[in-house]
A and B are shown apart, each in its own frame.
Chain A
Amino acid sequence: MAIRERLSGNEAVSFAIKQINPDVMPAFPITPSTEIPQYVSTYIANGECDTEFIPVESEHSSMSATIGASAAGARALTATSSCGLALMWEELYVAASNRLPVVLALVNRALSGPININCDHSDSMGARDSGWIQIYAENNQEAYDNFVQAYRISEHKDVMLPVMICQDGFITSHAVENIELLEDDVVKNFVGEYEPENYLLNSETPMAVGPYAVSNYYMESKKAQTEAMKNAKQVILDVANEFAGISGRQYGLFEEYRLEDAEYAIVMIGSAAGTTKDAIDSLREEGKKVGLLKIRVFRPFPEKEIAEALKNTKAVAILDRAESFNAHGGPLGSEVTQALFNAKCTMEVRNYIYGLGGRDFRVEDAKNVYSELEALITEGKEIENYKYIGLRSED
């Protein structure tokens, strides 16, 4: 029997951690993810969870210790946000290249500076090329569900890659919503015990981790990571299907919302998708054919699937909650555009930047994007290829 509750996103993820009961969790405080280690520490203090918590002295050390614990043969995880993830940057690559199936609960927050504690995706987008699987949530339910699925993906023998489970800082991490939780034993059975093939504490077969690999070997190790990332796509779908069996909630690589017959589409990631869905419902009542493609899995990037889902639209707006400072768009904009180009799609494509540092994204903002797309097609009214939404002044 599912449990109906009201939880914040941070508490939902912490609850999933308690149910999975992983072996080792090093973590360091940072807003807004810090509630996760606090909840886990409280579970441990109350005897509800056996995880060993390591109160490390920095995020660099939290990822370093997570890597050490995972290499040793334990199921390990950490949580962080923003500058914490930036401080881990070097270690993110080490975790991925050592093929360690660790999980990171990321609560998305803007990077400094100026220092800002609110949501955008600049932290995880900065880490997009580090070799981690990235799965994003729109709401608390998805954050919980994604976390429950994480180890099944990371520990799959065809994958063996770290997984980042992302949710939007404050917007979902601190907002309390209705949520449907799974029973403890259902989660435990679904996730299963971790039985690594090779690990440091195997006295029968010692293992060496983290070699110096010269040019003769380095490139093959990168190719192997890429193959694992390719394999991850099917594993993510298989795990999602199995998860649907225990939860009744079906996930894919992305969610299509009223997209099938849409002429104008928005592509975006995270909580703002909920706002866009409201705009869509309202515009659909006016007879506008508008839809949404909400990215769930950004790494591996579902290139062909996205192009297939968007191919019948007339215009697509890709909304980035992160800058890439390439001076022509955001990271999602670049990748979706490439996907459409490779699939020989010829619809109009525009890239918008929204919601940086917690700037509100309103239903009106989504509606404006759709009306700009429509005006572009029906009236030939040009839109810049790359523009900002919601600035204090449009000048």
Chain B
Amino acid sequence: MESKKRYNLKEVMSRPERLTPGHRMCAGCGGTIAVRAVLRALHEGDHAVIGNATGCLEVSSFMYPYTAYTDSYIHNAFENAGATMSGVETAYNRLREKGKIKDNFKFITFGGDGGTYDIGFQSLSGSMERGHDFVYVCYDNGAYMNTGIQRSSATPMYADTTTTPVGKESNGKIQYRKDLAAIIAEHKVPYVAQTTFLSNFKDLHIKAEKAIYTPGPAFLNIMAPCPRGWRYETSEIMEICKLAVETCYWPLFEVVDGKWQLSYEPKNKLPIEDFLKPQGRFKHLFKPGNEELIVKFQEEVDRRWEDLQFRCSQE
């Protein structure tokens, strides 16, 4: 497996783009960065079928009559990216068995958090349980961005969204976010990982390659900030991602054949304010009188981080 070789950013970045420029995603969009980074992990000569749940990515990368993908691509609907790719992968197995297809194909499907955590959750769970050999990539930007920043079950607590607006009687979303990577890991699939955009993209690249080349179902949860929904300057994306990891809001980990492994442990865990502060969606938390809310946010981050550390310490 290529991941055993030394990671070389220059080499990886020089690979041909499989999501080509000219698509209509916003400048600074995290979703597009996630797709390009994952597709760079495909080995040269391997074909792929790219799947996609309805969302920003789909409506902006495959507007008739133009596709931004160099590989075959299928969008079906919002809630069925897992089931759709189940059909594609099964067809591949059957047609190979019949000798009708000789080439190697890999199957990678992308969904936003709305299409993955919420409406597509059943379809995803079914496709993982049935053991199809494919990768489901969630580009998690923590809300329904395509329809205009409505809350999802991936939205963090207190976020200001258009369906959890901050107002006289509201501090934004009331609930904690769902821990989807853990839920998928409980399907006992061979590979689950959580990552985001960091420094030289090594963590994402290696996890994507493992996900693609591990036989059986794999799930990648990639935090992919949305400058419109999170309200920060597009140029700050790498800093935001770094703060998410350094505050342990978005820990990096893998679950390989059921074994939980931390990919990175911050030397000095930063306070959650550092992650919240640059984002307009959390602006209200910094108003005098709302200190308690930040304390509660911090408590939940700590609780989850400790829980994750415990899982990763188990032999």
The residues of B that contact A217 with a CB separation of less than 8 Å are 64-65
Q: A210, B87: Cβ atoms under 8 Å? A: no
For chain A, the count of residues having a C-beta within 8 Å of the partner chain is 43
Q: What are the residues of chain A within 8 A of B93 when measuring CB–CB?
A: 52
Smallest Cβ distance from B63 to chain A, in angstroms? 5
Which chain B residues lie closer than 8 Å to A90 at the CB level? 77
Bitwise interface map of A from 190 to 213 toward B, beta carbon under 8 Å scored 1, else 0 = 000000000011110011111111
Q: Which of B27-35, B123-131, B136-144 contacts A (4 or more CB under 8 A)?
A: B123-131
Q: How far is the CA of A211 from the CA of B97 in the complex (A)?
A: 30
Selecting from A5-13, A69-77, A224-232, A327-335, the interface stretch reads: A69-77
Provide the bound-state CA to CA distance between A23 and B130, in Å: 18
Chain B residues with CB below 8 A from A91, complex form: 76-77, 80
B62 touches A211 (CB 8 A): yes
Q: Which of B76, B79, B95 has the most CB of A within 10 A?
A: B76
Q: Is the CB of A56 within 8 A of B64?
A: no
- Kindly state whether residue A58 has any CB partner on chain B within 8 Å: yes
Which of B49, B64, B72, B80 makes the CB contact (< 8 A) with A61? B80
| B79 & A65 in contact (Cβ 8 Å cutoff) | no
Contacts of B64 in A (CB 8 A): 211-214, 217
Contact indicator B84/A208 (Cβ below 8 Å): no
- Also in contact, A74 and B74, with CB within 8 A (given A55-B130, A64-B87, A68-B86): no
Q: Which residues of B sit under 8 angstroms from A209, Cβ to Cβ?
A: 72-76
Q: Which of B66-125 touch A at CB < 8 Å? A: 67, 69-77, 79-80, 82-88, 90-95, 97-98, 100-101, 103, 105, 122-123, 125
B59 at the interface (CB under 8 A from A): yes
The answer to whether A57 and B125 have CB atoms under 8 Å apart is yes
Docked-complex contact A200 and B72, CB < 8 angstroms: yes
A52–B132 Cα distance when bound, in Å, is: 12
Residues of B with C-beta under 8 A to A357: none
Name which residue of chain B comes closest to A200, CB basis. B72
In the assembled complex, A26 has its CB within 8 A of some CB on chain B? yes
B-contact bits for A228-243, CB 8 A (1 contact / 0 none): 0000000000000000
Q: Can you name 10 extra interface pairs (CB under 8 A) apart from A57-B123, A73-B91, A208-B73?
A: A24-B87, A24-B91, A54-B86, A57-B126, A69-B87, A72-B91, A74-B91, A76-B87, A211-B64, A213-B63
